[in-house]
Structure 1
Amino acid sequence: MDYYAIVHNDFDGTASASVYARAVNSLPRNIWFTEPTKLHEVLARLELRGVNRVMIADLGINDSTFQYILDSIRKLRGEGAEIQWFDHHVWKDDWKTKLQEAGVQVFHDVSTCGAGVVNKNMNPEDEVSRSLASADCSVDIWLHNDPLGEKLRRVVENDRSYEWKRKLMETFFNGILWNEEFDTILQTRMEEELKGYQRIWKYVKVLDLEGTKIVVAIRWNGPPDISYASQFLMTRTGAQIFASANGKSISFRSNSIDIRRFAVRLGGGGHPLAAGASLRIPFIYRLLRRLGVTGPALNWVAKEVLEVVKKEGIVKYERRTTKN
């Protein structure tokens, strides 16, 4: 079967594409690994070239780009495309309604990860897909209930290149979830992470907002990645909220607070416990950061985070367990 795949540029996106490929017994003719903020651009450039099915997975929607997405979807549908969209991020009801009215098959379920949505709707009896989705969900929606997830995430995100993700998708498609190459990568990553934990403190600031601690960080080079660092720093400081900025964007994490509200306030989105948005640090602070002076940038980000948390308030997150 010929189709195109457009998925998130992370473990969940790669796993979603792999599960779908197993369900239709075919790898995509082409695949795009992208971000929610770039989805409208990918769709606008997409040319069918004889391919009539497009699958989109693990890509949420932002208010600022929805109309562009809808316009491109309508154009592709007018050219004869069959479009399936699998997602687990928080959506507005009218997004789903308008996409369905445009002819999109929408599979939306906030109780699982992207690969879980694909697995539940396309091939629920496939054991390989179930195992991959379980591992993926464990880390993507912060369940932390499948040890394979902690290992596979490190392997998948060891290399963010297209070639690596395509190779992994083909490996998973063939029913292989672990091999000797993955073992070597995992060992190297773990050694690098242990060294990284010792040096990230100089990129961190801890705030206290009426008894709620917030860890703010300026992104560092190398491991640990943001998800593992956030858990480490929140545990070590007793914080409930983690925010990390890389100069152009900001990511939020928590184990108990609905931090998606903060991302939405900044024009972004994501999961209730893991979300992000655009946030451009002023040029002079970014320049100083490149020169090794992190204080000004860190202080600026801390001020922005404090303001958005004050405006949105701190709301506990209640995990949903039913299909939306």
Structure 2
Amino acid sequence: MYEDVIDDEDMPLSRKSILPGTGFFVPDEIDEERQEREIAAALDGESVAVVADPDADGLACVALVREVFGEGALVPAGPHELEDGLQRVADYASPDVQVFVCDLCPDKFEYVDEELEALMANSASVRWFDHHQWHDDVAAKVREAGVDLVVGDSEEECTADVALRSLDYDFDEQYAELAAVTRDHDLWLREDPRSDDIADLAYWLEPEEYVDIVAEHGVDLPPEAEELLAERRVEKEALIEKAVQRGEIREIGDWNVAVTYGRCSQNEVAEAFREQGADATVIVKPAGSASIRGTDAFQRCHEVAGQVNGGGHPKAAGCKPRIYDDMLDYAHHWTTRGATTKQVILDAFRNLPEEDDEGVETER
């Protein structure tokens, strides 16, 4: 395949918004080999390792750990890469490494049992900080494996909050402020305008670059970071507008559920639909995954996502239905603007058990 076919640098926004980024078309084994090399090099000689989701919350935890220990090799791992991150530390770190796992939650213990066993056998200690919705049995088994697990209230804390209070260290106010502003975005409180800045910056920069910036400047970003944000947001706003324009609001049971498709910033799209009266919003992405955002009127996003290979929080969750067997499935996904994925997720809304007046689930 010619590179210019998948390169989206100069692609018109009308097409860019409906197709995944260039990285989607790079074979997994090539990307995995590159990651293996980079992570092995990062872990070489390090006594501290941090397996973290590379968003603003996970990377804030990396900054906190590095402030305490003066080091901390970052092993980036999204929610569907958790087991890979654990195994890579077990494979490449020294046996006396102190390991921190941040902002990640396994849906089932079976997904990480072998990798966690290997990690426990090849490390000095493992501490795990998170704020997602953990199943009691999963948390119990992780602790039984020897992990020091601390899970915060997902409606009150982000993982940076959990790390800040769990690490035995007298942090400067800069780090408490970083956790507070990260929480403002991660819990979608939207009370501090700086929270959108750090979330966008974490998305657009390489993880190490972001960690360096917030470790040095906190949430008061340097001019070059502000310039980058201003430049990138021109395109960001255009992609948001296209996603909102192609969306619709459907009545499902007692809820108005907005559903749309496109490469975009999901939180801003969800806010636009909330202003139009949506109780929940589903944003289907070109890569096949989807984000589910709730409101005060709908706080069961994690229940919806849990039915379709995902999870998260009551007001914010993500998933990727297991419906893509080959490139024809993805081609159908792009040309129909995610029709099958939309249907699967909307069916998950319909399948939610009813709640009584006190919020207790009852049989339909």
Of residues 52, 55, 61, the one that matches 1:16 is: 61
How far is the alpha carbon of 1:289 from its aligned partner? 5.4
Aligned partners of 2:244 and 2:272 also within 8 Å: no
2:34 aligns with none
Question: How do 1:1-324 and structure 2 match up within 5 A?
Answer: 2-24=47-69, 26-28=70-72, 30-46=73-89, 47=91, 48-63=93-108, 66-110=109-153, 111-122=156-167, 123=169, 125-159=171-205, 164-177=206-219, 178-220=221-263, 224-235=264-275, 237-246=276-285, 247-256=287-296, 257=298, 258-280=300-322, 284=328, 286-288=330-332, 290=334, 293=335, 296-313=336-353
Using a 3 Å threshold, how does the CA distance of structure 1 residues 124 and 70 change in structure 2: closer, same or farther?
A: farther
Note the C-alpha offset of 1:189: 3.1
1:248 to partner: Cα distance: 2.4
> Deviation at 1:202?
4.8
Give the superposition deviation at 1:77: 1.8
Which one-letter code corresponds to 2:180 in the other structure? S
Q: State the distance in 2 between where 1:137 and 1:314 align.
A: 30
CA distance in 1 between partners of 2:51 and 2:228 (Å) = 26
**Alpha carbons 1:22, 1:129 under 8 Å: kept:** no
Structure 2, gaps ≥5 residues long: 1-45, 359-364
Residue type of the alignment partner of 1:58: D
Aligned-pair CA distance for 1:266? 1.4
Give me the CA root mean square deviation.
2.4
**Helix, strand or coil: the match of 1:76?**
helix
CA contact (8 A) 1:216 1:301 kept: no
Number of corresponding residues: 301
Gaps (5+ residues) in structure 1? 319-324
CA distance in 1, matches of 2:65, 2:139: 21
Higher relative contact order, chain-length normalized (CA < 8 Å, sep 6+): 1
Instruction: Indicate the percent of aligned positions where both proteins have the same amino acid.
Output: 21
In 2 relative to 1, CA 52–301 (structure 1 residues): closer, same or farther, beyond 3 Å?
Answer: closer
Distance 1:191 1:310 in 2: 37
Shift of 1:278: 1.7
Q: How much has 1:35 moved relative to structure 2? A: 1.2
The ranges of structure 1 where at least 4 consecutive aligned residues each deviate by more than 6 angstroms after the TM superposition are none
CA contact (8 A) 1:241 1:254 kept: yes
Question: Which string of whole-angstrom CA distances, capped at 9 and with x for unpartnered residues, describes residues 139-175 of structure 1?
Answer: 101122222212211222123xxxx210121222234
Q: Deviations over 1:193-240 (max 9, x none)?
A: 3333432245323211245211111223xxx411111112222x3111
Alpha-carbon deviation of 1:300? 2.6
User: Distance in 1 between the 2:333 and 2:119 partners?
Assistant: 43
Opposite residue 240 of structure 1, the aligned amino acid is: D
> Which deviates further from its counterpart, 149-158 or 74-83?
74-83
